[in-house]
Amino acid sequence: MDHARIIFSTVSTAGSECIANRRDISTIIVDEAAQLVEAESLIILKQSCERLCLVGDTRQLSTTVQSRRVEHHGYRLSMFEQLLDNGWTPCLLDEQYRMHPKISAWPIRKFYEGKLKDAANTLSDEYSKFWHADNVCKPLLFFECADGREEHDDKHSFANHMEADIVCSQLTHWLSIVHNSPGSQMGRPSIGVIAPYTAQVALLESKLKDLSAKYSSDISVKSVDGFQGQERDVIIFSATRSNSAGKIGFLADHKRLNVAITRPKFSLSPSFHTDPSLPSYQ
């Protein structure tokens, strides 16, 4: 460690003695800087480096703060956000290399003011998958769940059984297509199922357990927060909320919705209740 030219570390570990005592660190690069609250930034600023590079996305989730009082006083703001708010001009990385163009089109327009463009790799044949030929396995396909109704548990988390059943049916069909196709010999795609509520995550995990074993597929079921910074070949998103009051909860936060729908590479299938009497997710 004393003679290493490149050190990989978490922010908290950067404050440990073996790193903090180094006086020859000229450049520090911080990934996911928009999730780093200002107080934590002091850990890396102790290094007195010549160059500090903050890499982050203020359109995605910031750090989780449990206390509304400290959040009210600005604790949730990252140093990254505060620098931008005070006039610092960022260097925009304006190409996205992850998503199929049919998936990226809406978030680019909605969350990034059309400033991003699809990189050449996303326009290549690599992004045309054999399962796209099936009508239920397109790059982007929405599923309506008008008859589903949310239920909340004693922890005030929400679940939607009908929507969970739709997700299971969709995945069953999709896995059967993949499993029985000659293209499956080239490797099984990675699959992620995202829901904004822990109760829906738990419900989906229980329903998908047997399906995952049957097709020997690794299906990751997590909350939106759990998927930040990750990607999968295929993402199914269960919005969960459906009520007569028209409340959409967490999804009113555009940062959360942005993270949820920008995790996939090749296919995205969101399940929503799109009753016109409910407020728009847009």
- CB atoms under 10 Å from CB of 214, counted, come to 12
Sign of the Cα pseudo-torsion (139, 142, 148, 154, in order): positive
- CB atoms under 10 Å from CB of 76, counted, come to 17
* Mean pLDDT across the chain: 87
Query: Cα angle vertex 279, ends 275, 281, to 5°?
Result: 95
Provide the whole-model pTM.
Answer: 0.87
Domain ranges for the chain, please list them.
Answer: 13-85, 95-272
Mean pLDDT of 147-161: 81
> For residue 77, what are the CA distances in angstroms to 34, 65, 87, 240?
8, 10, 15, 28
95-96 vs 117-118, strand pairing mode: parallel
Distance CA 29, CA 218 (A): 33
pLDDT band at 274 (very low <50, low <70, confident <90, very high): low
Q: Which residue has the tokens 């930034």?
A: 41
- Residue 155 pLDDT exceeds 50: yes
Distance CA 103, CA 138 (A): 10
Tell me the per-residue pLDDT of 47-73, one tens digit each, with 9 for 90 and over. 778 899 999 999 998 887 777 787 777
Distance CA 195, CA 270 (A): 10
Q: What is the largest CA-CA distance in the chain?
A: 64
Q: Which residue has the tokens 């404050």?
A: 15
Mean pLDDT of 129-148: 86
pLDDT band at 282 (very low <50, low <70, confident <90, very high): very low
Amino acid sitting at position 260:
A
- Record the tokens describing residue 185, joined without a space: 């010999």
Which distant-in-sequence residues (6+ apart) come within 8 Å of 86 by Cβ?
A: none
Tell me the per-residue pLDDT of 207-265, one tens digit each, with 9 for 90 and over. 998 887 887 778 999 999 999 989 999 999 998 888 777 777 777 889 999 999 999 99
Per-residue pLDDT, 185 = 59
Distance CA 193, CA 204 (A): 8
Q: Strand ranges (DSSP E) for the chain?
A: 27-30, 51-54, 95-96, 117-118, 143-144, 151-152, 158-159, 191-195, 219-223, 232-238, 264-272
3-state secondary structure 167-188: HHHHHHHHHHHHHCCHHHHHCC
Distance CA 88, CA 55 (A): 14
Q: Which residue has the higher pLDDT, 138 or 47?
A: 138
Mean pLDDT of 80-85: 92
- Residue 93 pLDDT exceeds 70: yes
Mean pLDDT of 182-199: 83
219-223 vs 232-238, strand pairing mode: unpaired
> Domain 95-272, what fold?
Rossmann fold (3.40.50)
Sign of the Cα pseudo-torsion (129, 131, 132, 137, in order): negative
